[in-house]
Amino acid sequence: MHTPLCDRLGIEVPIFAFSHCRDVVAAVSRAGGFGVLGAVGFTPEQLEIECRWIDEHIGDHPYGVDIVIPGKYEGMGEVDPAKLEEHLRALVPQQHRDFAAKLLRDHGVPELPAEDRARELLGWTAATANPQVDVALNHPKVRAIANALGTPPTDVIERVQKSGRLIGALCGSPYQALKHKDAGLDFIIAQGTEGGGHTGEIGSVVLWPQVVDAVAPIPVLAAGGIGTGRQIAAALALGAAGVWSGSLWLSVEEAEAPLAQRQSYFAATSKDTVRSRSFTGKPCRMLRNEWTEAWESADAPPPLGMPLQGMVTMDTVARTHRYADKAQAVAFNPIGQVVGMIDYTESVRDVMLRLQEEYLNAVERLDALQPQDG
């Protein structure tokens, strides 16, 4: 399992692992893949700490950083993060804050101590993501930057490529993929609707070859529903240069997910996820629970656009993570339909070995279907 993209990045196998947990990122890269740290929840100062830790624990292996700069959002054009946050906070209706607060109160989720309350705007805009890019580019072992929503701004693309690194972005349709190609991105991640987090409406098996054909010869990473080596074999057979996975790493030993959150994953089936705008303002696949249902009810205010809805729910995300054992009914648990295949905890190394063994078994099975000479 080796593609030209592996050689460009200096990795053994084209398995890309997105995670907000630095331990997972480092472990995947040490195991021959490419760990990618999700930066959206970190201040630049926190991201610096995370990257420095990864640098110290990853050996000579490379890793990536994932940022979020939507192609369109409220407040575009403002470059000062403090001014942008002040501007956006004034646009959030009190009705939305009250609705979220009542849901947490009704479900007995404790409030955070005042000193632990996070800023409401950490990512989701160019003003807040550009400082994260600055941090990433100061770490030589960061070999690629990915943007989770939309084509990155031209200045970001130029800065990353000028530094000798690769830059890519996720897409959910061939139309979006062509925009990435026109912008000159180095790789494109095609995420099917099965995937966790922000997704479009097209299934992976349909989307992957469409994007591969549309943007050739740019390498495409297949995302959405990657949980086994058989699925990796299918992605490569459809023309992908590798796979981008996220849900798979949420319950590994190295992940920081609380026990109650892991148990929610293990108990869920593939039918228990939903695409909901209730946390971020854009369709995001997560576990269905009383929070997602409440925001669909007749008395709920309509979810705001990005990043306003995220500002409403930042406190919810922090509280339901801190008090996970009390909060699963209203917790933010972004995960894809592959959750139905996640039943127990494995180490990152065991997952990587399993994926490669399953991939080889799948390839051997296909080879055995070929007519034999004589």
Phi-psi region of 291 (alpha: psi -120 to 50; beta: other; left: phi over 0): alpha
Q: What is the mean pLDDT of residues 234-257?
A: 96
373 pLDDT band, cuts 50/70/90, is confident
Considering the domain boundaries, does residue 159 fall inside one? yes
374 pLDDT band, cuts 50/70/90, is low
289 pLDDT band, cuts 50/70/90, is very high
Considering the domain boundaries, does residue 296 fall inside one? no
CA atoms within 13 A on the CB side of 135: 24
Considering the domain boundaries, does residue 166 fall inside one? yes
Q: What is the mean pLDDT of residues 235-264?
A: 96
CATH number for the domain spanning 240: value is: 3.20.20.70
* Whole-number Å distance between alpha carbons of 230 and 232: 5
Percentage of residues in the chain having pLDDT higher than 90? 89
The model's pTM is: 0.95
Q: What is the mean pLDDT of residues 336-356?
A: 97
Alpha helices by DSSP H, listed for 58-109, are 81-89, 94-106
Q: What is the mean pLDDT of the chain?
A: 95
**What's the number of domains the chain is made of?**
1
3 pLDDT band, cuts 50/70/90, is very high
184: amino acid identity, one letter: G
* Whole-number Å distance between alpha carbons of 68 and 180: 15
77 pLDDT band, cuts 50/70/90, is confident
58 pLDDT band, cuts 50/70/90, is very high
β-partners of residue 146 are: 66, 168
75 pLDDT band, cuts 50/70/90, is confident
Considering the domain boundaries, does residue 210 fall inside one? yes
Considering the domain boundaries, does residue 327 fall inside one? no
Confidence (pLDDT) at 123: 77
Q: Which domain holds residue 241?
A: 4-77+119-274+341-368
Considering the domain boundaries, does residue 331 fall inside one? no
| Residue of 131, 171, 168, 166 lying closest to 149 (CA atoms) | 171
Considering the domain boundaries, does residue 243 fall inside one? yes
| Residue of 320, 343, 221 lying closest to 270 (CA atoms) | 343
Helix orientation angle between 44-57 and 126-137, rounded to the nearest 10 degrees: 30
Each residue's pLDDT tens digit, 123-177: 788 888 999 999 999 999 999 999 998 999 999 999 999 999 999 999 999 999 9
Each residue's pLDDT tens digit, 190-211: 999 999 999 999 999 999 999 9
Confidence (pLDDT) at 120: 81
